[in-house]
Amino acid sequence: MNSNRGLDHDEKLLFEVGDVNRTGVDLSEPENLSQMLGDSFSDSEIGLAGLSEPETVRHYVRLSRKNYSIDAGLYPLGSCTMKHNPRLNEKMARLEGFSEIHPLQPISTCQGALELIDLISSWLKELTGMAAVTMTPKAGAQGELCGMMAIKQALLNKNESHRKIVLVPDSAHGTNPATAAFLGFEVKTIKSNREGLIDFDDFKKNIDKNFAGVMITNPNTCGLFETDIVKISELTHKSGGYLYCDGANFNAVVGKLKPGDLGIDAMHINLHKTFSTPHGGGGPGSGPVVFSERLEKFCPTPLVENDKGEYDLIESLDGKGLSNSFGRLNVFHGQMGMFVRAMSYMLSHGADGLRQVSEDAVLNANYLRASLNDRLTPAFEGYCMHEILFSDDFLKDTGVETLDFAKAMIDEGYHPMTIYFPLVIHGALLVEPTETESKQSLDHFISTLRDLVDRLKEDSDSFKAAPVFTPIRRLDETQAARKPILRWKEEPLIAV
């Protein structure tokens, strides 16, 4: 057990801590007060809780600690790349010239910011081997939308809007089929084979004259490299479709291979995964999309252009080779603070450092795999990429389920891994250690998981009861998601 036992402490609402009859300040009654508010004047109670400054500070500091974070401990969520965010990034993002600019200020006054956008654009193109990039999408999911809108636009441009079918593997992240469906495509699921990869024959079988394209995650959500990707891209193009790649797992291959070489037409990059920067606690994301030459002219505005040393934002669709663009995706130009953080991360790593990031991420995941495979059950044979997927076979006949196992980890001071995703594996447990965890930290995590597994048989009841050290124990998570209680009422909110 580490010092994060239970992960959290309870904190009441301000209204429950303070009360309306108290106040943190002590001002004397004003004399001869003439009020100047006319009919708007009111001297009735306003119902705010009175608190002293230390009480208020404590309340907010405690709330801030409720957000379990990568700075507090290992955060093994698979598919999320919860890596350490170097403080240098934060220092750079806080430079006044970046943090205080406004998207509506004159272009001549924010040349440095545009230069940074231009520079990071060129590096993303370099790292991916793609022809164009759009920086505006605000997260991976919006990047998917952006890429698929360009594909839709390209089909429209060829008078081929009858092509409505988008193929998506059954291991895909939910945002993939959601994006395609949102744009009016018809989603068809393709099967994974026993190795956890796309079943090429099933893919081929599903291609017909209405085929618009395929959305593939590579490495996929099983933590495996799609070895048929080139065959898939060739067949996709031969059949008149486009290949979208979900680049959320770019961390496993950055600096090692260029997605452009695989025949990918559009791919989003989660800056907030591959290039550090905080997320997972509701912080901003950023999901630039890179495009192949096939799609380049359909990508959205604005684009940054450098004309004789002056940077400009191209907004107009005419005269600049953008007449086929699908238009604007967002009101402004993207998440500036995230660009600065990602740029700072790239600069401080350099090309060799970025390559080492992916090598170490893969090494760490395989170290976990090798250290746990006699206790947990890896879902597939052989090496994995940057994350390791386990099935719930090791829980068989114990009466303990994946959810119980995850809850027990909280009592041991660990945030659980991603569970029940991807859907293709029964009771899936997906662990992504990232490259920023040390061997000591991995060893501690490994021994905790091994001990938990060894406790399964003799003590399955404790798994069912977990977590016991958290202020609130098992939540009705479905109810909490479907019927969130967002307003404070005077009666107690949660019956404990």
Q: Summarize as ranges the residues that interact with ligand PLP (CB under 6 A).
A: 79, 139-141, 173, 175, 217, 221, 246, 248, 270, 285, 287
CA–CA dist 162, 301 (Å, integer): 26
Give me the residue label for tokens 């090598």.
359
Smallest gap from Cβ 175 to ligand PLP, in A, equals 5
Q: Which residue, 249 or 366, is less far from ligand PLP as judged by CB? A: 249
Residue whose C-beta lies closest to ligand PLP: 140
Smallest gap from Cβ 123 to ligand PLP, in A, equals 19
Contact between 19 and 48 under an 8 Å Cβ cutoff? The reply is no
Smallest gap from Cβ 436 to ligand PLP, in A, equals 17
Q: Which residue, 218 or 448, is less far from ligand PLP as judged by CB? A: 218
Quick one: the chain helix, strand, coil %, rounded to 5?
A: 40, 10, 50
Contact between 222 and 174 under an 8 Å Cβ cutoff? The reply is no
Q: Which residue, 132 or 141, is less far from ligand PLP as judged by CB? A: 141
Q: Which residue from 268, 241, 247 is spatially nearest to 329, judged by alpha carbons?
A: 268
Q: Which residue from 353, 340, 298, 343 is spatially nearest to 322, judged by alpha carbons?
A: 298
Strand partners, 312: 305
Q: Which residue, 51 or 166, is less far from ligand PLP as judged by CB? A: 166
Q: In terms of C-beta distances under 8 Å and separation of at least 24 residues, what long-range contacts does 260-264 make, across chains too?
A: 260/128, 260/129, 260/130, 260/131, 260/290, 260/292, 261/129, 262/218, 262/229, 262/230, 262/233, 263/229, 263/230, 263/233, 263/234, 263/236, 263/237, 263/292, 264/130, 264/233, 264/292
Smallest gap from Cβ 59 to ligand PLP, in A, equals 30
How many CA within 13 A on the CB side of residue 113? 26
Smallest gap from Cβ 374 to ligand PLP, in A, equals 28
Smallest gap from Cβ 254 to ligand PLP, in A, equals 15
Q: Which residue from 398, 384, 382, 376 is spatially nearest to 445, judged by alpha carbons?
A: 376
Q: Which residue, 140 or 278, is less far from ligand PLP as judged by CB? A: 140
Radius of gyration from C-alpha coordinates of the chain: 26
CA–CA dist 194, 68 (Å, integer): 36
Q: Which residue, 192 or 448, is less far from ligand PLP as judged by CB? A: 192
Contact between 240 and 160 under an 8 Å Cβ cutoff? The reply is yes
Smallest gap from Cβ 290 to ligand PLP, in A, equals 15
Smallest gap from Cβ 128 to ligand PLP, in A, equals 16
Q: Which residue, 137 or 467, is less far from ligand PLP as judged by CB? A: 137
Q: Which residue, 221 or 470, is less far from ligand PLP as judged by CB? A: 221
Q: Which residues contact 75 (CB under 8 A, 6 or more apart)?
A: 68, 69, 82, 280, 415
Q: Which residue, 142 or 470, is less far from ligand PLP as judged by CB? A: 142
Smallest gap from Cβ 281 to ligand PLP, in A, equals 12
CA–CA dist 219, 273 (Å, integer): 14
